Structure 1
Amino acid sequence: MSNMDQVITTDIFIGGSNRPASNGAVYDLFNPARPTELVGHAAAATRDDVDAAVRAAHGAFPTWAEMGYQARIEIMLQVAEMLASDEEDIKYRSRLFTREHGKIARETLMEMSRLGDRFRQAAAYGERIMVDEIMGPAGGGPQLDTIVTRQPRGVAALIVPWNWPLSILGAKLPQALVTGNTVVVKPAENSAMAPVLTLQKIAAMLPPGVVNIVTGSSREIGDTLTGHPLVRNVNFTGSVAVGRHVMKVAAENLTPVTLELGGNDAALVLEDATLNEEVFNKMYWGAFGSSGQICMAMKRLYVHESRYDEVVDGFTAACERAVIGDGLLPETTMGPVNNAKQLSVVTQMIAEARSKGAEVRECGQVPDEALYSGGGYFQRPALVYDADPALSVVRDEQFGPALPLMKFRTDGEAIQLANDSEFGLCSSVWTEDAERAVAIAKKLEAGYTYLNGHGPMAQDGRGPFGGFKNSGVGRNMGFDGVLAFAEPHSISGPAGFLV
């Protein structure tokens, strides 16, 4: 074991300092590629710890909120600069991230880079949002001058999932901070250590109490956080079931929530789409980046019947080039699924498809067969051809390396198939006709539609991100994502008094 792979323990972080859980409890995190390999321990916070974190954030709020927004913007830019510095520390946290999560090193480094980018984006929007809007008298009605100002809400509870913890942290944290809120962050229990170390570096650049961190696996601490009477905003990313529960708990205090939940994202390949190796590689990463464990990943692939065989051949070839193994190895392009429970969901979907007569092909290369079959949470990318719409791999979110392929005849049928889902997070349209692409996109029940691409590499961080239907409430990212952390306040007086 190298020095970089020593077993570590991460603490919670409250009021500017690290501390163990109040009862000393920790929980273990293991390498999903080698589930008997202990990576480290994370503090298992108690309800009292969560209360202390919220109260620390509440105590720090007045000073942070009263700081001029320009000063906060400058701090956001300094944080972004810090996150890009110290190559040795970046290498260490990236390696730790891969070992506790499973995703390949290329993706952990990308997440770390995106976190810094999102601090810069939030800083750019901060000035637009926090500058007062001043309006003189309008025609008709009382003649008034009005100022619309936006104020921070207070303590924000930020709950981050295990699949893309740093990127998704970047869709919440800088937006909350730049608008003057203080925060309590709860990283997911399955991938806590690299986020905690990263958050500690960020918190060190801010006044004590502005950023607080709690970790743990019990619903009790989540309920304590989202139901705390001093929390003024809850921003959660995770499953539909937990999102509903979060909303219910927060509703006791009428606390506003932003929920970014599941997706069953459809890709539509039209008859005029350009299809070549580069395009099929884009499709591969759109479907199977992070082993398919991305809310925005391609999860249903609908192809015009005239191009179906071509897509099957080209996309299958791209999937066959996948190299499945330890995410630390440079040749690996797909690591393990993060945890045994999620792997079981995926393998059961594949087994059901086979049992009902579907043609299923598991693709990819496995250089280390002993590792692959040695208990790690590995699954080769599985393609289900001509999938029956009743199969769970079509109806439900796989959140792993399995993808159904299906045909359509007309644009109208493609739109109907794509919208036939309880979810409405993302979608994509593949065509050379821009006007047609936009016309179809506007008919899709999705919060984000990619054109001739899909997933993180096709996403513009300036656009708001969130979903229709069971995919959530509200938006992260972009102008709307920053606006979600600010309360509008209108101030009116007689004409000529303010303007």
Structure 2
Amino acid sequence: MTLSTAPLSLPDALHIAGERITETSAGSYEHIFPGTGRPNGTVPLAGRAEIDRAVESGRLAQREWLALGADRRRDLLIALADAVAARAAEFTRLNVADYAVPVSFAGNAVLLERFLRHFAGYVDKPHGLSTPVSGSADVNLVEREPYGVMGVIAPWNGPMVVAGACVAPALAAGNAVVFKASPQAPFAPLRFGELCTEVGLPPGLVNVVTGHAETGDALVRHPGIGKIHFTGGVETARTIIRTAAANLTPVVAELGGKSANIIFADADLDLAAQLSAHQGPLTQSGQSCACASRILVHDSVYDAFLEKFLAVVESAKVGDPYDPAVAVGPVVSAQAADRILAAIDDAVGAGAGELLTGGHRLGGDLADGYYLEPTVFGGVDNRCALAQIETFGPVVSVMRFTDEDEAIRIANDTPYGLNAFVQTTNLARAHRVSRQLEAGSVWVNKYSDISPQGPYGGYKHSGYGRTGGLDGLYEFLRIKNIRIGLG
């Protein structure tokens, strides 16, 4: 099979201090396109020397950024949003080139644009307040100030979403950013870095680098970094937090999930089947922290729901991610495919549930890529590894419940707490259940639709801190108290 062509030119340079950096102290990385298993391009990797330069240029650019004044900073962020919008088609194809997300789902530039426009509106808004002081006529000011240079570490599955959720509020708050992209998804982030300079942001205000764990370690250890925002896995987060502790650098962690999707007897089953399929094994091949991989169905509608759900899953087209008709692309790498297939085999061997559909790697015209069948297990026990460990692939577990209390108990019986989903037409139940679910976001009768107005983040092992909304802005500001004596 010949896949549709990638963009004619893939970015091949780091973006540091407004310059293209092609030769680095850490060498280069050959990017493999998951749709074909063949090389897609080569990108340089940032070493400690490049991180040093990025942080120093960020420090200087941040001073220049603040000196521009609020109106100019606001206008530049709006100009950046305009530039992203004008290049939406290019960013879409770069996203496909990065990690083979189907083009039908690859329009993350729209979300990046929304975050930039939203937070541009906060640049010139007051962030502090004045309060009385007990027993004194002093003036008591509480102000919010930028950290200086923020380190943002993005995952491969959606780096442009992280750019919107983190870079936009960081700049609005007055910070500079060193953005570390995964070498598995470098192209769209590197192009975004170029665009930041092209629209007139001070060179060095947004530096974009790629690299493996060693690059992240250099960034986290750097004494010039004011705060780290990390999106990724739990074990990596623990390493980052321990490393950052040496400099007492604060860390925000947006981590994984094992989200429950509760289908009540009064749900619209056709809608629930569509939402469950796309929020589960189909979108991004289940490679999302927001994946609803545990589907809880009321016993009275279990069979009816399952019939509709499997029909949606099995009718989804798997194939060329550049084909607009394709709903499911490959997983990100050969290693990921092997890991996911091993988890499926383990679940079958352990009798974790009945394998209802999928479970294999696709061959034929797709054999060279890393394509897996969307996989559904039924009758799963929530205590088994399949239901408790994040698979990060197109694999979901379907299980029964008999009443509301049992559904809530099963949904909360996980170390994770990023998202939860509720399907019901009963308004009272929607409110009642949502308030009892241990998750940072609850989505009722809809998929996870991150927006710049809503704070997003997790409970428990899904991390702490928020992106989006005022809470997301405040993650990039630190508090200062000023007392002025009048007596």
TM range (shorter): over 0.9
CA displacement at 1:369 relative to structure 2: 5.3
Cα separation, 2, equivalents of 1:333 and 1:364: 18
AA aligned opposite 2:238: R
Matched residue of 2:86: which SS? Answer: coil
**Retained in 1: the 8 A contact 2:30–2:41?**
yes
**Retained in 2: the 8 A contact 1:5–1:96?**
yes
CA displacement at 1:3 relative to structure 2: 7.9
**Retained in 1: the 8 A contact 2:360–2:372?**
no
**Retained in 2: the 8 A contact 1:126–1:482?**
no
Distance 1:15 1:369, change over 3 A: same
Matched residue of 1:62: which SS? Answer: helix
Cα separation, 2, equivalents of 1:266 and 1:236: 24
CA displacement at 1:414 relative to structure 2: 1.1
Distance 1:421 1:4, change over 3 A: closer
Unaligned runs of 5+ in 1: none
CA displacement at 1:398 relative to structure 2: 1.5
CA displacement at 1:64 relative to structure 2: 1.5
**Retained in 1: the 8 A contact 2:376–2:396?**
yes
**Retained in 2: the 8 A contact 1:323–1:365?**
no
Query: TM-score if structure 1 supplies the norm length?
Result: 0.92
> What aligned pairs does 1:84-483 form with structure 2 within 5 A after superposition?
84-86=85-87, 90-109=88-107, 111-128=108-125, 130-135=126-131, 137=132, 140-205=134-199, 206-217=201-212, 219-276=213-270, 278-287=271-280, 288-357=282-351, 358-362=353-357, 370-372=364-366, 374-456=367-449, 459-483=450-474
Cα separation, 1, equivalents of 2:141 and 2:70: 17
Greater mean alpha carbon deviation, residues 60-69 or residues 224-233: 60-69
Matched residue of 1:400: which SS? Answer: coil
Greater mean alpha carbon deviation, residues 44-53 or residues 176-185: 44-53
**Retained in 2: the 8 A contact 1:297–1:454?**
no
Cα separation, 1, equivalents of 2:92 and 2:447: 24
Cα separation, 1, equivalents of 2:17 and 2:458: 34
AA aligned opposite 1:156: M
Distance 1:390 1:4, change over 3 A: closer
**Retained in 2: the 8 A contact 1:227–1:253?**
yes
- What count of residue pairs does the alignment treat as equivalent? 482
Is it true that 1:492 corresponds to 2:478 in the alignment? no
**Retained in 1: the 8 A contact 2:25–2:49?**
no
Greater mean alpha carbon deviation, residues 114-123 or residues 345-354: 345-354
Deviations 1:104-138 (A, max 9, x none): 012212x111111111122234444x444234x36
AA aligned opposite 1:94: T
Cα separation, 1, equivalents of 2:227 and 2:317: 42
**Retained in 2: the 8 A contact 1:320–1:364?**
no
CA displacement at 1:98 relative to structure 2: 1.0
Unaligned runs of 5+ in 2: none
Cα separation, 2, equivalents of 1:415 and 1:274: 20
CA displacement at 1:77 relative to structure 2: 1.3
Match of 1:30 among 26, 32, 35: 32
Cα separation, 1, equivalents of 2:419 and 2:343: 21
Cα separation, 2, equivalents of 1:41 and 1:194: 14
AA aligned opposite 2:257: G
Cα separation, 2, equivalents of 1:52 and 1:185: 13
**Retained in 2: the 8 A contact 1:321–1:364?**
no
Cα separation, 2, equivalents of 1:383 and 1:3: 32
Greater mean alpha carbon deviation, residues 423-432 or residues 98-107: 98-107
Deviations 1:163-195 (A, max 9, x none): 111112211001100111001110011111122
Deviations 1:66-104 (A, max 9, x none): 432332222111111111114xxx434422321331110
AA aligned opposite 1:212: N
Cα separation, 1, equivalents of 2:287 and 2:343: 15
**Retained in 2: the 8 A contact 1:156–1:181?**
yes
Query: TM-score if structure 2 supplies the norm length?
Result: 0.94
Deviations 1:318-347 (A, max 9, x none): 101210001001221100011122222321
Distance 1:375 1:244, change over 3 A: same
Quote the RMSD (CA, aligned, Å): 2.2
Cα separation, 2, equivalents of 1:253 and 1:483: 21
